[in-house]
Chain A
Amino acid sequence: MTDSILRMRGISKTFPGVRALDDVNLEVLRGEIHAICGENGAGKSTLMKVLSGVYPHGDYTGEIEFEGQECRFHGIRDSEHRGIVIIHQELALAPNLSIAENIFLGNEQSRRGLIDWNRTNAAAAELMRRVGLRENPVTPVLDIGVGKQQLVEIAKALSKRVKLLILDEPTAALNDEDSAHLLGLLRGLRDEGITCVIISHKLNEVLEIADRVTILRDGRTITTLEAAGLTEDRIISGMVGRDLDHRFPPHEPTIGDEILRVEDWTVHSPTQHGRLLVSGASFTLRRGEIVGLAGLMGAGRTELAMSIFGRAYGTGISGRIFKDGREIRLRSVGEAIAHGIAYATEDRKRYGLNLIEDIKRNVSAAALRKLARRGWVDDNEEYRVADSYRKSLNIKAPGVSSITGKLSGGNQQKVVLSKWIFTDPDVLILDEPTRGIDVGAKYEIYTIINRLADEGKAVLLISSELPELLGLCDRIYTLSAGRITGEVPRAEATQEGLMTLMTSEAPR
């Protein structure tokens, strides 16, 4: 049990101007689940890319020893040949191909150059049974959920006779049920003798599943710890290099009058005819108040928020919105912005930022007319505005002419927040504002949220992390299957209580 399957010694990798990895050491034992933790930019993904041959031998310094032999991979095929398979955060599946086709993509079951469909589908069915995926092998991948797609990726890895399976943030996009299934599956694979390396931000999962944990910080190995007896706080202090007594900044709310009231809000699915996404939801927000919206994935949180934000999502929308006591109609995003409502998306790369443009043009994007006279933009003023947000929100970049696509997740999120703060909203809807960003940046985002509330704005905070909601919000609504199932003041809220409300109605 103590023989090691993988040893990486003295790995260093530099990009132009950045030392991404600096003398990193990693030892993974055969048959264990090994977690790698670290802030964004700590070098976790880079290390895995070195291991899997994405960065070929010669591109880095140091040694990789796999099953006692030194390895020099020149591409992913080399590492896969040795039984190392990496599953990236963004799944690499062909959506229109069937599950079976995806499993054997690049490894087709053929006879004399022709694909043997019977063998393909039968072999796929066997692999799907091993990963607990109950679907027809000929179902197109786009027809199954993200959680099941993840299982397809694992089945694909199994088909390559994987010995070391690397998963990069495997549960980031999964709901709790799918996450639990996935973690159970990984345990099962470990018992079959497959070694797993898992990269995750979700420390509770890490503690639940891992045998040992390696912590990276700023491209260096900090330590490797036995998971037994480990606490989240111990991991966090290793990741950030300091003890984090307060994960949430202290905040005394000053709550004023009601500013937004939504009554009987109902939204239908734009793709599946007749399916209700949100039904009869009513809630209120008050000035200076941070209100949480808790719900499992698929509960309709984002759909509720986006449909309010000028009907940016959904069809068959009904219900009434009152702002400062007067009923308003928001038929477009532009009207919502004009009425002082802002929505910062959960997926900043796809929906929040123009990644090929610089910081200042992203900051100005939602309120360009504020910078314009008679249709002409004052770009000096634009620079000044963007630079003031760069300073006040502590966006780490050489300047506001830096391209947003090159910033880290936390800094990108600050650009998104700058954009919406610049529209001067009364109501900010923040959808998963700390998803995929590191602990230090999260704290900064929390501080910004508190500051916004102190300025008299109302914040609706959507988050999958219950501790985050409990740490920040003055009041929390729970959403389950499109219905508001509870309203809990901060003092009475507990994780267990919220979870009960979030699952209180059977889905659909």
Chain B
Amino acid sequence: MSLDLDVAKTSIPESGTGGGRRFSINLRQSGIYIAFAAIVLLFTILTGGDMLAPQNISNIIVQNSYILILAIGMILVIIAGHIDLSVGSIVAASGAVAAVLMVNHDIPWPLAVLITLLVGAAIGAWQGYWVAYFGIPAFIVTLAGMLLFRAVTYNILGNRGIGPFPDEVRTLSNGFTDGYLGNIGLGALGGADLVSLLVGVAAVAGIVVTQWRSRAGRVKYGQAVEPFPLFVAKIVVAGFVVMFVVVQLARFRNLPWVLVLLAALVLGYSLLTNRAVFGRQIYAVGGNLQAATLSGVKVKSVVFWIFVNMGVLSALAGIIFAGRLNQANPTGGDQFELDAIAAAFIGGAAVQGGVGKVVGAITGGLIMGVINNGMSLIGAPSEQVMLVKGAVLLAAVAFDVWTKRRAGASR
């Protein structure tokens, strides 16, 4: 409302055809979610509903968890205007370190996990140093890292895998929360785990409360907010999606632990990018490096810590991946970097940096996960899956470039 008033006062010609422009902006921001919904719908129809079956939803989450974790780190790297090609090798190397610690040396699993994450941080610091302080392009540093850390993995493991992992680690990767409160009947849907359902309800309540408070705050400061019906519709859709997934999971084997972990990471990193000073500085560095420098942002330090963060998340993904296979493998994590990078770009990151969202990267990762899963359900050969994924990546970035060009032409 107040926005329209401002427009009238300052009479900026840009707002003359505001309706059309606003729509195109919305399309650019929400296009990814619409595309995701369309892809899910498509495969639900093609698979006769198997896509959304309880066990399949659980599978999609568990099978893609490590890519999604990598995508969170990758989107930060890409927002800052860099790239990391080494994450697949770091996944393998950290899985190997975890295996050696837990299996060969019988170190208690929490300590072993901690040490592995620190090793990931050290690897990230190594790469961050060369990129941020020495000034070598990240493409080169991490290409070298890709070879380097794969070699380290072979050095640690030789040509064989090490396993099995302790039960706790396997549970984290593969397992589900316990049904502390037992099951309740959901009529035609059968029995479902009460704890999972309560968590789902709490999550929806959390979404409603935070969205409401954020809206109220914006209104109090006289900022423009979306129309109330749209606001309600968005919350209803989000609540429905969350509850649908939770009910399906509760009907299968409760909540996967990796989902709990992922939810915490998405929440934490979304807050970091939107609200934290450090997060804002990442966008500033990626948007205009010189302007950020001259605004007092410690550019080198920001870039350095982004790579450290990427290293830690890669190590976390490495532990989960190895735990899921119950074995650390020298070829593990191969080409994970490509999936993580694709997830970030499908999710709306810009190649030049400065743009991107954590939730976008997660959605991008899920789009690829759903394509993988859905195509294997309908029995498509793997070369077709690659073909479709490649086409989706190209189409997503082409769409982004196209909307940007249209926006730019209105100058």
Give the interface of A toward B (CB within 8 A). 15-19, 309-310, 312, 332-334, 336-337, 343, 345, 350-357, 361, 364-366, 368-369, 372, 375-377, 379-381, 383-384, 387, 396-399, 401, 406, 419
Contacts and interface: CB of A to CB of B under 8 A. Distances in A.
Nearest to A390: B6
Given A380-B217, A397-B12, A401-B224, A15 B411 contact: yes
Interface residues of B, number: 47
Contacts of B189: none
A422 B287 CA distance: 20
A370 to B, nearest CB: 10
A354 B15 contact: no
Interface stretch (B197-205, B291-299, B358-366): B291-299
A380 B218 CA distance: 6
A267 to B, nearest CB: 16
A17 B284 contact: no
B105 interface: no
A376 B268 CA distance: 12
A357 B295 CA distance: 14
B292 A398 contact: no
B28 interface: no
B280 A17 contact: no
- Contact residues of A: prevailing secondary structure: mixed
Contacts, number: 127
Nearest to B298: A334
Given A312-B294, A332-B298, A383 B223 contact: yes
Contacts of B226: none
B14 interface: yes
A493 to B, nearest CB: 30
A377 B284 contact: no
28 contacts: A15-B410, A16-B16, A16-B17, A16-B21, A16-B410, A17-B18, A18-B410, A310-B296, A334-B296, A337-B296, A350-B291, A354-B283, A354-B288, A354-B354, A357-B283, A357-B354, A361-B283, A361-B284, A365-B292, A368-B280, A376-B275, A377-B277, A379-B274, A383-B223, A397-B12, A398-B14, A398-B15, A401-B224
A337 B409 CA distance: 37
Contact of A16 (B20, B222, B288): B20
B300 to A, nearest CB: 11
B21 A312 contact: no
A396 B12 contact: yes
Nearest to B3: A399
Contact of B275 (A15, A353, A361, A379): A379
Interface in B6-40: 6-7, 10, 12-18, 20-21
B288 A399 contact: no
A381 B275 CA distance: 12
Given A312-B293, A364-B280, A376-B275, 8 more contacts: A17-B15, A18-B14, A354-B291, A356-B354, A361-B284, A372-B276, A398-B12, A398-B14
B290 interface: yes
Contact of B16 (A17, A312, A333, A354): A17
A342 to B, nearest CB: 10
A355 B294 contact: no
Contacts of B405: none
A18 B13 contact: yes
B277 A18 contact: no
A81 to B, nearest CB: 25
B347 to A, nearest CB: 17
B326 interface: no
A356 B287 contact: yes
Contacts of A383: 218, 221, 223
A388 to B, nearest CB: 11
B277 A368 contact: yes
Given A356-B354, A419-B295, A19 B13 contact: yes
A396 B222 CA distance: 18
* Top 9 A-B residue pairs of the complex, sorted by shortest distance between their CB atoms: A354-B287, A17-B16, A366-B295, A334-B296, A18-B13, A16-B410, A17-B17, A354-B288, A365-B295
B384 to A, nearest CB: 37
Contacts of A365: 284, 291-292, 295, 297
Interface string B264-288: 0000000100111110110110011
